[in-house]
Structure formats: structure tokens, C-alpha cells
Structure 1
Amino acid sequence: MKLQLNVEGFSQYDDSIQLKYRSSACGPTTIYVILRYLLKDPSLLKEVNDFYEILGGTKIGLFKWRLIYKLRRFLGTGWKVAECTLHDALIEIKEGRPVAMKFDQYFSFKWKTKPNFKYHWVPLIGYEIKNDELFLILHDNGGRNRESQIRKVRYSDNYQVLSFVKIEPNSK
């Protein structure tokens, strides 16, 4: 079984992003990609540089608690921004909403693991279950001189360092 949303990726190394932000712009880029997909009102959509400032990006990255707090303030009461489980994240995908996914080997203190990324935010855009094994489908937010690519990673290789943030409309 495979489910993948048609989400357009974006490179955190794009020329439009300030040079000083690029190496640590994965969090703001992830939010930019997700909101570009979710928002019906394009006037709310900012550029990655703006999200870097709005979300409080730093040279060492974007902390999950700060992303949640600042994005709640930015989006307002019409949206729910919250940490979620893998189960919740997969439900979000089924509902047609990408999820912000963070690889964090450093602050999870899982030094013996070999995740696909050590510290990186990405848009989770789908999943596949193949031979009873879960694979997560994501945009990797690009690299120097490379556009964002869709990648499939094995959940079992990464689960110890993963966390998820859902962004869903309030049903009021």
C-alpha cells in the first residue's frame, strides 16, 4: 500500500534564500512547502527568509517547541499546530495534509543509530507499506546546487530520532 501527496518541494539552498540562512533553513523551508500546499489564502504565505525570522530560526536549526509556538501565533486560531505521533502523522497524510518531520540524533542522544539525517526538518508527504515494513516518503529540501528530491526512508532505521508536527485546520 502506498499513499503520496502531490506536494511541490523547495530547496533550502535556493538563490532566493539569504546565504547566511541556507545551511540551517530546513525548518523554515519545510513550513514553507507545507503551507504552500495547505493554504487557500496565498496572502498568508511568506518567503522562506520570512519564515526563518517568524519561526525564530538559528544557526543550529529550529527547535521543535519554538516551531510549534511561533507557528501557532502566526497562523492564529483557525489552525491547530501540535506535536503528534507516527500514527497521527499517517492519519494526517490520509487526510491530505503533509506533516513536518524532524530527524534529531543530537538532542535525542541516540549516538549509536544510523539515521538518514542527523538533524534535519523535512516535509513528510506520504508512506508506503511494503512486505510489512513502513517506508516514509519525504522531500529532502535539496542541497547545494540541487533541488529538493522525493526520498523514501525506512522507518525502522530512523524511528529513534524522529518527531512529527501536524498542521491542521480547526473544525470550528
Structure 2
Amino acid sequence: MKQVEGFQGQSQYNDEIDIRFQPSACGPVTAFTILRHHLHNSTINVNELYRILGGTRIGLFKWRFIRNMRKLLGSGWKVAHCTIEELKEEINEGRPVAAKFDKWFTFHWFGEYAFDYHWVPVIGYREDDSGLTLLVHDNGGRNRESRIRAIPYEPNKPILSFIKIRKTTAK
């Protein structure tokens, strides 16, 4: 099993998050926890990220996540879609990856998936005889902190997409 060391999850229902944003804050919380992992001294908070990234009541679109994270981080960072193989490389290098589960806008309405529509940080993976399993922080729930969950990749593959966020300069 490969896992990013020292990653801290956070619940999207944390008291510090505006109550109006909480039901749709999974994308900004995912971005926040990944940025916190990379930038240990960051002063940005989830409420700011919600606005900066363009969060809405129905969630955060992937293209907005990428475009607005690029604007926020600047040219010294790479924020881009990635494949499952690139996800493994990122995890092997100690970098979490943002994952979006989306059965609604991918038109896979009738399958059984771990989440219907949800952003989570992927912090690890395991490959064995039963296939590939992703380790994700689930971003919590009302009155529940974020926890690590093991999600099988194959049954969720039709609705999954990934975004890597990595520093490309030494500064």
C-alpha cells in the first residue's frame, strides 16, 4: 500500500466553514486540505477558497477547479487533469490528488457508486488480487470528522476524474 504521509483531512461541516457553504463545500475542502499539505503556512481558509474557486450550491465544476486553482497558485504550479497512472505517480511522490465522483454530469445515473457527486482528496492506493483500491479522506459529515475510506476503483471508474496539484519551481 502506498500512502501520503502526514496528510490531514477536514470535514466540510467544520464550524469554521460558513453554514451556507457546508453542503457543497467538498471541492473547496479538498483543495484546502491539499494546499495545506503542500503549503504548511498557508493563511487561506475554506470560505475564501469557496469564493475563489467558484463554488456553487450544486458543487464545483472540474474546469473551474482547475482554472481558478491555476490563477490562485500561479505559474510555479501545475494544476491539471491526470490519469489513474499519473495518480499513482503523484501518490508515490507524496502528493495527494483531488478526485471528483460525478454520476450526474457523466450521465451514469443508475450505477452503484461510492458517492453520487463528491470531491475528495486521494491520499493512497492499494493494488492486490481484488484490483485497485483508492484511499480517500471523505470530507466528513454533519457531526463527523473526515475519515479515510477505501474505495474500489473499477466500479467507480465511469464517474471518476482526477486533478493533480504540484509545485514545479523551487521557490
Question: Could you state the TM-score of these two structures normalised by the residue count of structure 1?
Answer: 0.95
Partner of 1:36: 36
RMSD: 1.1
Distance 2:80 2:43 in 1: 20
Partner of 2:99: 101
One-letter amino acid of the structure 2 residue matched with residue 5 of structure 1: V
Unaligned runs of 5+ in 2: none
> What secondary structure, in the 3-state scheme, does the structure 1 residue paired with 2:104 have?
helix
Distance 1:62 1:168 in 2: 20
Alignment of 1:65-144 (within 5 A): 65-144=63-142
> What secondary structure, in the 3-state scheme, does the structure 1 residue paired with 2:141 have?
coil
Runs of 4+ in 1 over 3 A off after TM superposition: none
> What secondary structure, in the 3-state scheme, does the structure 2 residue paired with 1:77 have?
coil
Distance 2:68 2:84 in 1: 22
Partner of 2:8: 8
Q: Which moved more, 1:109-118 or 1:10-19?
A: 109-118
Tell me if the contact between 1:104 and 1:161 (Cα under 8 Å) persists in the aligned partners.
yes
> What secondary structure, in the 3-state scheme, does the structure 1 residue paired with 2:105 have?
helix
Unaligned runs of 5+ in 1: none
Partner of 2:158: 160
One-letter amino acid of the structure 2 residue matched with residue 69 of structure 1: R
Q: How many residues align?
A: 169
Q: Which moved more, 1:96-105 or 1:126-135?
A: 126-135
Distance 1:130 1:137 in 2: 14
Q: Deviations over 1:1-60 (max 9, x none)?
A: x011131100000000000000000000000110110115x2x44111110011010000
Shift of 1:132: 4.9
